Amino acid sequence: MPRAFLVVMDSVGIGGAPDAERFFNDGRPDTGANTVLHIAERQGLALPNLDRLGLGAAIRLASGADAPGLAAEPEGLWGAATEISPGKDTPSGHWEIAGVPVPWDWHYFPDRQPAFPPELTARVCELAGTQGILGNKHSSGTVILDELGAEHLRTGWPICYTSADSVFQIAAHQEAFGLDRLLKLCEDLAPTLHEMRVGRVIARPFTGTPGNFTRTANRRDYAIAPPAETILDIAANAGRDTHAIGKIGDIFSHRGIGKLHKGKSDAELAGHLLHLLDEASPGSLTFANFVEFDSLYGHRRDVKGYGAQLEWFDGIVGQALDRLQPGDLILFTADHGNDPSWIGTDHTRERVPVLGYGLPKRGIGNVGFSDIGASVLAHLGLDAPGHGKSFL
């Protein structure tokens, strides 16, 4: 039986979203944002493997722009995908790719201080056993540790903050506060946030001393569950082996996942992907997320770092293509944009590339996010979810 590998390059957008004017960064609409194009224009990009699959052609299709250095004749299946969910966030993008467009508007906390309603703050204090919380505002995760880490050690109060995403994040010292205590706090709090349509509660453990705090790899996301069956559920219910690499388990509330493969970095996650290309069973589905484009470089508006990460990942793509077995399909796509040249720190509303190998080379045009998941299931010989149409 054929195997399928679905790889999300987190935030690697290619511009051209038809509704970009409805989404904002620091009051400026996302119209014109284009993650890969703007990196290529500012410093050039050497992406021979992604480009030969059709990345440059996909950028031209999505946005009408020619990206410098990305002009190869496509040798793979290529196109661009447009999102219909009313968000530009991680759950929205992944759920829709997996066949479940988000049917509601997410709740976002206002960018003011305090950001959280008193009843929510009281609930956190009740569960944490503290007299108060620290933060209670929008902030970068690294900045708030420098600002409030010492106060956290002194008081024992959790650091609670949010961002432009629909998230509630809690940072706590892994030793002084306790990792298990932090994870339980987030797990117990999650139902309250999910009722508010907040997408994720995120545990952000850290270690160190004042002036030298470091976030650890023990982050845990407690995400609201998708409201319908995803491609993971459908494959698992059909008796297929399902593998989740990276954040996929958290994004889908660990539903429909047979085996989870975590790592401290994208480099470790790449090792899992390459291993599964060698070892995954016939008929299996592997769903992977590579997050560092977004988390380390997009939000921090680091054009140089983002470009270097793309070039590193292009090497992984080459190794992955070499490991494909007869009948395999591998698709590379993204969940949203995060243009590192753009104003603000939030994601950017963009179309995303759809680049495939294992099928005859051809352009598929502009498709929907849900068409990606429908195509994966069609390749596996399984019925499509409620949304999406196969482009195979």
| Alpha-carbon span 72 to 68, nearest angstrom | 11
Q: How far is CA 275 from the centre of its chain?
A: 22
- For the chain, how long is the longest CA-to-CA vector? 62
Q: Which pair of tokens denotes residue 64?
A: 């009408």
10 assigned to a ligand binding site: yes
Query: Which residue in this structure is represented by tokens 């944002």?
Result: 33
| Residues 45 and 67: beta-carbon distance below 8 Å | yes
Q: Are 296 and 309 in contact (CB under 8 A)?
A: yes
- Residue 379 annotated as part of some ligand binding site: no
DSSP helix/strand/coil, 291 = coil
Of the candidates 327, 377, 378, 334, the residue with the CA atom closest to the CA atom of residue 357: 327
152 assigned ligand-binding residue: no
- Listing DSSP states for 300-325 in one string gives TT-HHHHHHHHHHHHHHHHHHHHHPP
To the nearest 10°, report the CA torsion of 364, 367, 284, 219. 130
Determine whether the annotation assigns residue 347 to a binding site: yes
Least Cα distance to 63 among 25, 13, 9 occurs for: 13
Binding residues: 10, 294, 299, 335-336, 347
Binding residues for Mn(2+): 10, 294, 299, 335-336, 347
